Amino acid sequence: MHRWFAQVDIDSGQRDRLTTAEREELSRLKRELRVVREERDVLAKAIAFFTKDTSW
């Protein structure tokens, strides 16, 4: 209960911490960043695979 009341104070501007909306956005951005990094890694591996020297 204490955390809930503390979060109400934060959301109403009575305390300096992340609001509920800011926490949700931060979580969403962290998930998005993780996905983008995974996609980047896959693309880097694909580029490395397809640019190997294939001389016979």
pLDDT tens readout for residues 42-53: 999 999 999 986
Torsion angle, CA of 46/50/52/56, rounded to 10 degrees?
150
Q: What is the pLDDT of residue 46?
A: 94
pLDDT along the chain (56 residues), means of 10: 80 82 96 98 95 70
Q: Which helix (H) or strand (E) holds 53?
A: none
Neighbours of 25 (CB within 10 A): 12
Neighbours of 11 (CB within 10 A): 16
Neighbours of 28 (CB within 10 A): 10
Q: What is the pLDDT of residue 41?
A: 98
pTM of the predicted structure, to 2 decimals: 0.66
Q: What is the pLDDT of residue 42?
A: 97
| Most distant CA pair in the chain, distance | 71
